[in-house]
Structures are given as structure tokens and as C-alpha cells.
Amino acid sequence: MSAPANAVASSAATSEPYQAPAGLADVSVASTTVSDVLGRLGFYHYRGYNAVDIARRGRFEDAWHLMLRGELPTTEQRDAFTGETSALRQLPPGVGELLPSIARLSGPGSLESVRTAVSLAAQAIGCKPWTDQSQDLTRAQAEQISAILPTLTAQLYRLATGQEVVQPRADLGYAANYLYMITGEEPGERSTYAVERYLMLTIDHGFNNSTFTSRVIASSGADLGAVISGAIGALSGPFHGGAPARVFDMLDAIGSPDNAEPWLRHAIEHGEKLMGFGHRIYKTIDPRSQLLHEVAQELHSERVGFAEHVEKTAVALLAELKPGRELYANVEFYAGVVLEAAGLPREMFSATFACSRVVGWMANVLEQVRDNRIFRPLARYVGPEAPREFPAFWQPGQA
Ligand SMILES: CC(C)(COP(=O)(O)OP(=O)(O)OC[C@H]1O[C@@H](n2cnc3c(N)ncnc32)[C@H](O)[C@@H]1OP(=O)(O)O)[C@@H](O)C(=O)NCCC(=O)NCCS
């Protein structure tokens, strides 16, 4: 959806710039062929293909190929792509030695440590401002950095929890290898299936906050390390990718089914946002949440019954106390339930999100660099009228 037509007309008439609404809600700021979210229909897609169908039926590498190379792969292309990308999982020379210091300064699974490490890894593989290198090289680096991110994330976690790092295995799929590097054990089929569904569902999602961030940074010509560390920073916030562990904190705080109604009512009445509920675009249930709910049930997660009770209670209370806002469970609500049942520790939920969303960031950045114009909007100045008189007390220093 683009800016309302009357906004353009009034801006021409008054020569005042168009004032976008807070949070750029309902404003289109770019054109894309990567993905889209149809919020009223509860539907989203990757390059036109139903993303939930891809997640149900495909492999992570299918979606990755679609996003970075533009089409779903044939069987031969998938095999070749899987071989190519699994060979890129090793950390570049020099990076592994730095990880213990980074891990020591931050907690297990912290996105702060991941965004620091990925910036160094990008330098180590030779990422430069994309304006100073060929687009083919930028594409190759985008694939390599996406392949490296799970290795960085897993090794930082192992180090932060006092364990030996586990090197990646090229013979395992993306999801199985990720679990293996974190737990040190080859994962079972169910856990791999569950984590792969989660990763595929969360690759991209329209012009979400971190994707927008990645494109803004890329639009200045900056290198992929700057792009990814900035995007991870955006993802880490509780209104975006930082929510799933907080959903667990909320479930823990509620404690028992009897306490759900009073606890949630008190939180909403005191202006708190319930973690895992609400979405800027969806005004229906989030389709990612629906598939993750199914996966959680298939895993026979201990938490799923309690989570279902909390979801039902929260949706009813939100309808009562926030009528007309259409607030339902979002992707984060069942994400943690699935990831925990698959063997991932709570601290790793948000970092795991980064390991899939990096593919979406890279697809968006490759699109941005093909037809770039630097993002440079305006802000309406609302401070004291200028120019102001300098105050008498101010004695400027000599330049
Ligand atoms: C996702 C989110 C950031 C979207 O924000 P947004 O589009 O700016 O929506 P708003 O904050 O303007 O919310 C609109 C109204 O619904 C309410 N609302 C939105 N999400 C809510 C939630 N999770 N719990 C309670 N109320 C909520 C707001 O308080 C606001 O009410 P008001 O009209 O009385 O002021 C927001 O819903 C949220 O913070 N959710 C919880 C965090 C979360 O789960 N993040 C993961 C997102 S995938």
C-alpha cells in the first residue's frame, strides 16, 4: 500500500513534506519481489509461493535457494546448492580465536555477541562496501555469511556455557547441523523436523523492522557485515525477535491455568503488552503461529496444553479489554514451545531466529543493491523556532 493519494496532493498544495504516520504504519517505502504479508487474509508468501506450504513440504535449502537465487530448485539444483552451502559453514581463519573473548563478555545466546562476531566474520571473508566490488561477489558473500551465522551462534553459546565448541558437519542438513553444533549430539528426526519448520517459517516476512534496517544500511553502500550486525540489533528488541524467551517468562510468571485469567487481566489493565500477541500487519491469527502450534502438538511438548490455555484466555481478554484491535497470537507465541521441545535452550530462541532471518535480509539486500537509491527521509522539526538568539552566558571556545 502506498502513501494515501490525498497526502501527496496536500503536500504539493502546501509544499510541506508528506508526514508519514508513527511507525510508518500503512506506508510503502520500497518495491520488492522477495515476500509479502496479506494481513487481513492471514497469508504470506515467498516470491509468490505460500510460505507455510513451503515450510510444511520443503527443506530449508529449497526456501534459501528461492530467496537468494530467485526460484525453487529442481532436485539436482537443491543437491548442488546444499553441497555448496554446507561447505561454507566453517568459520574463516582468525575468527574462532576471537570468540572466547566475545562469549566471556556476554551471556549465552546473546544477540549482542552474535552481532559483534558476525561483523568480524564478514571482514574475515573480505566483505567490502558493495559499491567497491562486483554484484556476483556480494551475492557469493551473502550465501557464505548466511552459512556461517549458525556456526558463530552455536560456538558462542557453547563457549558462554563453558563447553568445547563443536565444528559444523557438512553431511547434515541446515537444521540438523545447527542442533548438532549446539547440543554436541546428532539430533533425532522429530527435533530436526520441528526446528527446520521454524527456520523455514521465519526466513522473511515483508518489510519487517530488521529487514527495513538491513535495506537502509545497504542503501548507503555499506558492507554485508554492517548490514547484518545492524539487522541483528533491530531483531534483538522485545517488540521484534526478542519476544520468544519473554513469552516463556510470561508463562512461568502465570505458573498455573487458574492464574491465567487474573494475571493476564491485570497485565492488560496496567498497559502491558502481552508477549507473543499482536502484530502490525496481521489482523487474524498469524499463519506461522498456526503451523508452529501443530508442530508443538506433534512433539508432545509438555508446555503445549498450558500454552493453549493461556492463548485462549489472552485472546478472549484482549477482545474484551482492547476491542476492535484484533489481537491474536503471533509467531513468537508457539516458537519457544517448539524450540524448547526440540532441545534448544531458552537463551537461544532469538539467536535461532537470526539464523533463518539472515536469508531474508540477504535476499532483500541483493534486491536493494540492484536498483539502489540511498534511504534519506525527513523528520518534521518540532523544537524551538530557529534561528534562536544565543544565550548571554554562552562563551564560545576558540576553534
Ligand atoms: C507486535 C507489536 C509491536 C505491534 O505493534 P503496533 O502495530 O505498533 O501496535 P500498537 O502498539 O499500536 O497496538 C495497537 C493497540 O493494541 C494494543 N496491543 C498491541 N499488542 C498488544 C499486546 N501484545 N498486548 C496487549 N495489548 C496490545 C496496544 O496497547 C494498542 O492499544 P491502544 O489502542 O489502547 O493504544 C505489538 O503488538 C507488541 O508489542 N506485541 C508484543 C510483543 C511481541 O509479541 N512481539 C513479536 C512480534 S512478531
What pLDDT digit, counting tens, does each position of 149-195 carry?
999 999 999 999 999 999 999 999 999 999 999 999 999 999 999 99
Distances (CA, A) of 279 to 21, 77, 146, 318, 397: 17, 36, 27, 13, 51
pLDDT at 214 over 50: yes
Using CA atoms, how far apart are residues 150 and 356, in angstroms rounded to an integer? 9
Please give the distance, rounded to the nearest whole angstrom, from the Cα atom of residue 246 to the centre of ligand 1.
Answer: 15
Considering only CA atoms, which of 74, 301, 331, 329 is closest in space to residue 199?
Answer: 331
Q: Is the pLDDT of residue 73 over 60?
A: yes
User: Is the separation of the CB atoms in 288 and 52 below 8 Å?
Assistant: yes
| Rounded mean pLDDT, 260-265 | 98
pLDDT band at 285 (very low <50, low <70, confident <90, very high): confident
- Is the shortest distance between the CB of 239 and ligand 1 below 6 Å? yes
Per the CB < 8 A criterion, the answer to whether 11 and 18 are in contact is: yes
pLDDT above 90 coverage of the chain, percent:
90
Residue 257: band (very low, low, confident or very high) from pLDDT cuts 50, 70, 90:
very high
Of 87, 39, 78, nearest to 283 (Cα)?
A: 39
- Per-residue pLDDT of 46-61, as tens digits, reads 999 999 999 999 999 9
**At residue 8, does pLDDT exceed 50?**
no
Given the residues 196, 311, 332, 367, select the one marked as catalytic: 332
45, 205, 279, 293: the catalytic one is 279
Ligand 1 neighbourhood includes 274 CB (under 6 angstroms) = yes
Whether residue 13 has pLDDT greater than 70: no
pLDDT of residue 166: 98
Task: Place 7 in a pLDDT band, splitting at 50, 70 and 90.
Answer: very low
What is the per-residue pLDDT for 374? 98
Ligand 1 binding pocket includes 322 (Cβ within 6 Å): yes
At 373, the pLDDT band (50, 70, 90 cuts) reads very high
Q: Is the pLDDT of residue 6 over 50?
A: no
Closest among 385, 198, 226 to 295, alpha carbons compared? 198
Judge if the beta carbon of residue 21 lies within 6 A of ligand 1.
no
Whether residue 279 lies in the annotated active site: yes
The 10s digit of each residue's pLDDT in 88-123 is: 999 999 999 999 999 999 889 999 999 999 999 999
Q: Model confidence over 343-356: pLDDT tens digits?
A: 999 999 999 999 99
For ligand 1, say whether the CB of 278 is within 6 Å of any of its atoms: yes
pLDDT-derived band at 14 (thresholds 50, 70, 90) equals: low
Check whether 9 has a pLDDT greater than 70: no
Overall size of the chain counted in residues: 399
- Whether 1 has a pLDDT exceeding 70, the answer reads no
Look up the pTM and report it.
0.92
Give the pLDDT band of residue 4 (cuts 50, 70, 90). very low
Q: Would residue 65 show up in a list of annotated catalytic residues for this protein?
A: no
Tell me if the bond preceding 100 is cis, omega within 30° of 0. no
60's grid cell: 530449508
Does residue 34 surpass a pLDDT of 90?
yes
pLDDT of residue 186: 97
Least confident of 7-21, 169-183, 369-383: 7-21
**Ligand 1 proximity of 283 Cβ (cutoff 6 Å):** no
Contacts of residue 173, defined as CB under 8 A and 6 or more positions apart, other chains included, come to 59, 60, 61, 82, 192, 196
The cell for 22 is 508513527
Ligand 1 centroid from CA 284, angstroms = 14
Alpha carbon nearest to ligand 1 atom 5, residue = 280
Is pLDDT above 80 for 11? no
Cα three-residue angle 259-264-265, rounded to 5 degrees:
105
Q: How confident is the model at residue 86 (pLDDT cuts 50, 70, 90)?
A: very high
Residue 12 is predicted with a pLDDT of 47
> Rounded mean pLDDT of the chain?
94
